[in-house]
Structure 1
Amino acid sequence: MSIWEALAVFVAGVGAGTINTIVGSGTLITFPVLLATGLPPVTATVSNALGLIPGSISGAIGYRSELKGQRRLVLRLGVAASVGGFTGAVLLLSLPSTAFETIVPVLVALALVLVVLQPRMSAVVQRRRARAGTITRTDGGPVLFGGILLSSVYGGYFTAAQGIIYLSLMGMLLDDTLQRLNAVKNVLAAVVNSIAALFFLFVADYDWTAVLLIAVGSAIGGQIGAKVGRRLPAPALRAFIVVVGTFAIVQLLLR
Structure 2
Amino acid sequence: MRSLSHGYSALVLGASGGIGQAFRWQLEMDAGCGKVVCLSRRDDAFDVTDEDSVLRAADRMKSEAFDLIVCATGALTINGLGPEKSLRQISQHLMMAQFALNAIGHALILKHFVPLLARRKRVIFAVLSARVGSIGDNALGGWISYRSSKAALNQIVHTAAIEVNRTNPSSLLVTVHPGTVKTDLSAPFASGHKRFEPNDAARRILEMLDGLTPDRTGGFFAYDGTAIAW
TM-score scaled by length of structure 2 = 0.34
Structure with more of its chain in helix, by fraction: 1
| Structure ranking higher in strand proportion | 2
Bigger Rg, which one: 1
